[in-house]
A and B are shown apart, each in its own frame.
Chain A
Amino acid sequence: MIGGVFVLLALLVQVMFVNRLPLPAGGSPDLVLLTVIGVALTRGAGPGAVLGFCAGLLVDVMPPSAHLVGQYAFVLALVGYVAGRGAGGPATTVVLCVLIAPLLAAAVGGLISDPRVSMSTLTQQVPVTIVYTVLVSPIVIWLTTRGRQARFST
Chain B
Amino acid sequence: MRDSRRARLILGALLAVALIVLTVDHRTGDSSPLRPLRAAGAYVLGTAETFGGGVLRPVGGFLHAIVTAPSAQDRIEALKAENAKLRSGLVADKLNADRAKELKQLLGLSGTGGYKVVPGNVVARRGQPGFEDAVQIDLGTADGVRPEMTVLNGDGLVGRVLQATSRTSTVVLISDPASATGARLEGGKEIGVVHGVGEYGRLVQFRLLDSTAPLSRGGRIVSFGSQHGRPYVPGVPIGVIERVESTPGELTRIAYARPFADLTALDVVGVVVEAPKRDPRDAVLPAKEGAR
CA of A120 to CA of B26 in the docked complex: distance in angstroms? 23
Give B residues with C-beta under 8 Å from A.
Answer: 3-4, 6-8, 10-11, 14-15, 17-23, 25-26, 32, 34, 37-38, 41-42, 45-46, 48-49, 52-53, 56, 59-60, 63-64, 67-68, 122-132, 134-136, 162, 165, 168, 170-172, 176-178, 197-200, 202, 264-266
Interface size on A, residues (CB 8 A): 64
A56 surroundings in chain B (CB, below 8 A): 18
Closest to A74 in B: B18
Tell me which of A15, A22, A81 contacts B136 (CB under 8 A).
A15
Number of A-B contacts (CB under 8 A): 204
User: Out of B6, B59, B176, which one reaches A116, CB within 8 Å?
Assistant: B176
The docked-state distance in angstroms from the alpha carbon of A121 to that of B8 is 31
Q: Is the CB of A53 within 8 A of B199?
A: no
A120 to B162 Cα, complex, angstroms: 25
Q: How far is the CA of A31 from the CA of B127 in the complex (A)?
A: 12
- A44 close to chain B: CB less than 8 A: yes
A118 at the B interface (CB under 8 A): yes
* Distance to closest chain B CB from A104 (angstroms): 11
Please tell me which one of the listed residues A32, A69, A84, A121 contacts residue B38 in the complex, with CB atoms under 8 A apart. Answer: A69
Complexed CA–CA distance, A91 and B176 (Å): 34
Q: Do the beta carbons of A63 and B177 come within 8 Å of each other?
A: no
A2 sits at the interface (CB 8 A): no
The 3 closest A-B pairs by CB, nearest first: A26-B200, A70-B22, A61-B41
A64 on the B face (CB < 8 A): yes
Known contacts being A84-B7, A118-B177, is A67 close to B14, with CB within 8 Å? no
- Distance to closest chain A CB from B127 (angstroms): 4
**A46 contacts B18, CB within 8 Å?**
no
Known: A22-B265, A32-B129, A62-B41. A16 touches B52 (CB 8 A): yes
| Cα of A16 to Cα of B177 in the assembled complex, Å | 22
CB of B128 within 8 A of CB of A18, answer yes
**Cα separation A67 to B37 with both chains bound (whole Å):** 14
A67 to B3, CA, bound (A): 34
- Rounded to whole Å, the gap between the CB of A144 and the closest CB of chain B is 18
A26 in complex: contacting residue of B32, B52, B134, B199, CB < 8 Å: B199
